[in-house]
Chain A
Amino acid sequence: MQLADVAPASTEVLRIQGLRKVFGAGEQQVVALDGIDFSLKPGELMALLGPSGSGKTTLLLCISMILEPSAGAITVNGIESYRDGWTRGLDARRFRRQNVGFIFQGHNLVPFLTVLDNVALPMVLTGLGQRQARARAAELLCYLEVDHRARVLPATLSGGEQQRVAIARALANDPKLILADEPTASLDSERGFKVIGLLKKIARERGAAVITVTHDERMIEGFDTIRRMKDGRFAPSPIAP
């Protein structure tokens, strides 16, 4: 049995302790993350603010087992993925499939799959039958009010619709943690607010913890936690929402 299959015993979806990430060595050394500590509860919404190069995306990459931290510990959904080294026997892709949902700035839908199949894909990859996966994908599209576009290709959708489909895909395997990297960056304000509204709805109704990286401070209203990053560190204390 993979560690990712172990049911979480913790009430925390994410716990990060003393996370540090250093790129390069000697004079070329760049500290991308330094002493990051925080945790998220189910349904908690966290906004991550900060200028480019402050370490926001690096933090998401470390949480999702794409980038190996230099030190610290990461626990997602009760599974300790990192503690001074990746946990042995933990398959990063499987870990991501089962525990983390991603929402990208550029939507990143597979252009040759229909909207329905884009949402069904993560479930098929997890081993669910195609019929069941498509049925659940249809439910998710309905939940995100984009089910009327299920049979078309992503290229025919508007930016807002594409982002809704991307959110549906992120929810496919019912992850407890959703990482959204600048999800509103390619949208106008109206659509941006709608997407943020959806993330709040997901956190509230489905109990998923959401970390949203954004540059746009208008979008963070109503978030439970707002963290500002600079030079790989969090600001001394969370900003009051």
Chain B
Amino acid sequence: MDLALQDIRRHLGKFGATIVGVGLLLAIVLTMNGIYRGQISDGLWLIDQVGADLWVVERGRGGPFNEPSKIPEDVWRSVSAVPGVKRAGPFITYTVEREVAGKSQQFTIIGYDQRAGLGGPGRIVQGRAPREPHYEVVADRKIGLAIGDGVRLGNETFTVVGLTKGAVDLGGNPLMYLTLADAQDVLYVQDNEALRSQRASSLRTIEAQGYSPAQAQKMLSLQTSDRHSMSAALVELEDGVNPEAVADHIESWLYLNAFTTEEERELMIRGRLVRMTATIGLFRVLLVIVSIVMISLIVYVLTMEKVKVIATLKLIGAPNWVIGRMILEQSLLLTLPACGLGYLLISLGIGWFPRTLVLLPSDTLITFAVMFAGGVLASLLGIWQAMKTPESLALGG
């Protein structure tokens, strides 16, 4: 005669509701785990996917992701000539907010040189990589575009020729790949009205300094901004070459900063990711603590509700193990299905979540183990309380 099962059978609604509640709580904990890992994964995805041996950026900058880096476009050709470099390519990255696929959304544009073969989209799940020098893009599916769709960026309309899946920047924004020239145009070329307005403003500033309108017109042409810049040069080294040595060479001779992939990852982890993950990590820990407290309290209350039954059982001669088993079994029958439900919910919902969720089996197992331990601990407290319950409590009214 299983007392725990009999109790559950008689209070199926209450017990079921408790399992659903705890299961939802566990799903939230698993979601936080997933967000935490997802942030790290997103933050490192682009670095890992590009797979460059060296990232060459503006001198004194920790770019191109942690802070803006702007270097002349032709630097990548100089870098190509450094001994030990197999090939190099330009790379530009920036985040935009545009009306795309019927809604305003934020995404990151990556500009690269197709001929250099570095920095482009990795695995294309549908379509192809850009072949033409202009007006072709590869977009991540998350943006909501389809092959053949037109995208208005800056003054031009681009055609989607390929789609990626899971290509995101460190903030989880989807990526859109353009050729370098197109990416530079989208970044620097203003629309006609804005250009006219800026020219008029600049002319007024020059004329205010005592120049004639004709002189001001001539001087204005000198102020034209240079569009031929990029965020970084990507480098692939020849086999067997020491990356640190090549990086030192580039830093000394080209007056730039060069990071190995490992250093770039470290910059990302210790720089932008550290605060983001620390915040989520804190929430994660707090949520786990709250969950353990809740599970413990539920198990404890379930035991305390039965204190008179326990006293009666002791009085009619039930051994301690019968009472202990009843409490422990109920705790397990609460936590195990709740863990299962939590896992089911997160598994079903992972595809619908707006951010990248990465569920590591080790994280899930540790979370369940901690919850399970909390439940067992609470059961032990309950059992201890039950052992202390005097039989005499069953006597009297």
Contacts of B1 in A (CB 8 A): 113, 117, 120-121, 124, 130, 133
Known: A93-B318, A117-B6. A185 touches B397 (CB 8 A): yes
Q: Are A96 and B317 in contact (CB under 8 A)?
A: yes
Judged by a CB distance under 8 angstroms, whether B74 is at the interface is no
Contacts of A61 in B (CB 8 A): 391-392, 395
Q: Are A57 and B317 in contact (CB under 8 A)?
A: no
Q: Are A112 and B9 in contact (CB under 8 A)?
A: yes
Known: A111-B10, A112-B6. A125 touches B316 (CB 8 A): yes
Interface size class of A (residues with CB under 8 A): 35 or more
Q: Which of B120-128, B307-315, B338-346, B359-367 contacts A (4 or more CB under 8 A)?
A: B307-315
Q: Are B396 and A57 in contact (CB under 8 A)?
A: yes
Which chain B residue shows the least CB distance to A65?
B391
- Given the complex of chains A and B, what is the CA–CA distance between A30 and B81 in angstroms? 102
Which chain A residue shows the least CB distance to B4?
A112
Known: A97-B317, A169-B316. A112 touches B7 (CB 8 A): yes
**Which residues from 4 to 50 on chain A have a C-beta closer than 8 Å to any C-beta of chain B?**
none
Contact among A67, A93, A104, A111 for B319, CB-based, below 8 A: A93
Which chain A residue shows the least CB distance to B312?
A108
- Given the complex of chains A and B, what is the CA–CA distance between A22 and B28 in angstroms? 57
Q: What sequence of 0s and 1s flags, for each residue 224-258 of chain B, a beta carbon within 8 Å of any chain A beta carbon?
A: 00000000000000000000000000000000000
Is chain B's binding surface mostly helix, strand, loop or mixed? helix
- Given the complex of chains A and B, what is the CA–CA distance between A124 and B319 in angstroms? 11
Judged by a CB distance under 8 angstroms, whether B390 is at the interface is yes
Judged by a CB distance under 8 angstroms, whether A161 is at the interface is no
- Given the complex of chains A and B, what is the CA–CA distance between A64 and B318 in angstroms? 14
Known: A64-B315, A111-B10, A125-B316. A104 touches B395 (CB 8 A): yes
Judged by a CB distance under 8 angstroms, whether A122 is at the interface is yes
Judged by a CB distance under 8 angstroms, whether B394 is at the interface is yes
Known: A64-B315, A97-B316. A125 touches B322 (CB 8 A): yes
Known: A66-B315, A122-B317. A105 touches B6 (CB 8 A): no
Q: Are A125 and B396 in contact (CB under 8 A)?
A: no
Judged by a CB distance under 8 angstroms, whether A186 is at the interface is yes
Shortest beta-carbon distance, A126 to chain B, in Å? 8
- Given the complex of chains A and B, what is the CA–CA distance between A165 and B352 in angstroms? 56
Which chain A residue shows the least CB distance to B322?
A125
**Which residues from 122 to 158 on chain A have a C-beta closer than 8 Å to any C-beta of chain B?**
122, 124-126, 130, 133, 153
Contact among A105, A110, A122 for B395, CB-based, below 8 A: A105
Judged by a CB distance under 8 angstroms, whether A194 is at the interface is no
Shortest beta-carbon distance, B331 to chain A, in Å? 16
Q: Are B396 and A106 in contact (CB under 8 A)?
A: yes
Q: Are B6 and A96 in contact (CB under 8 A)?
A: no
Judged by a CB distance under 8 angstroms, whether B11 is at the interface is yes
- Given the complex of chains A and B, what is the CA–CA distance between A60 and B315 in angstroms? 12
Q: Are B316 and A96 in contact (CB under 8 A)?
A: yes
- Given the complex of chains A and B, what is the CA–CA distance between A47 and B265 in angstroms? 86
**Which residues from 65 to 81 on chain A have a C-beta closer than 8 Å to any C-beta of chain B?**
66-67
Contact among B312, B390, B397 for A110, CB-based, below 8 A: B312
Shortest beta-carbon distance, A178 to chain B, in Å? 12
Contacts of B395 in A (CB 8 A): 57, 60-61, 104-105, 181
Q: Are B396 and A96 in contact (CB under 8 A)?
A: no
Contacts of A97 in B (CB 8 A): 316-317
Which chain A residue shows the least CB distance to B394?
A108
- Given the complex of chains A and B, what is the CA–CA distance between A108 and B392 in angstroms? 12
**Which residues from 41 to 79 on chain B have a C-beta closer than 8 Å to any C-beta of chain A?**
none
Q: What are 9 residue pairs bridging A and B, where the CB atoms are less than 8 Å apart in the complex?
A: A93-B317, A97-B316, A104-B312, A108-B308, A110-B3, A110-B309, A112-B6, A113-B1, A122-B317
Q: Known contacts A108-B312, A110-B3, A125-B316; can you find 6 more A-B pairs with CB under 8 A?
A: A61-B395, A102-B315, A110-B312, A113-B6, A125-B319, A186-B397
Binding site for B on A (CB under 8 A): 57, 60-61, 64, 66-67, 93-98, 102, 104-106, 108, 110-113, 117, 120-122, 124-126, 130, 133, 153, 169, 181-182, 185-186
* Nearest 4 Cβ contacts at the A-B interface: A97-B317, A112-B10, A112-B7, A96-B317
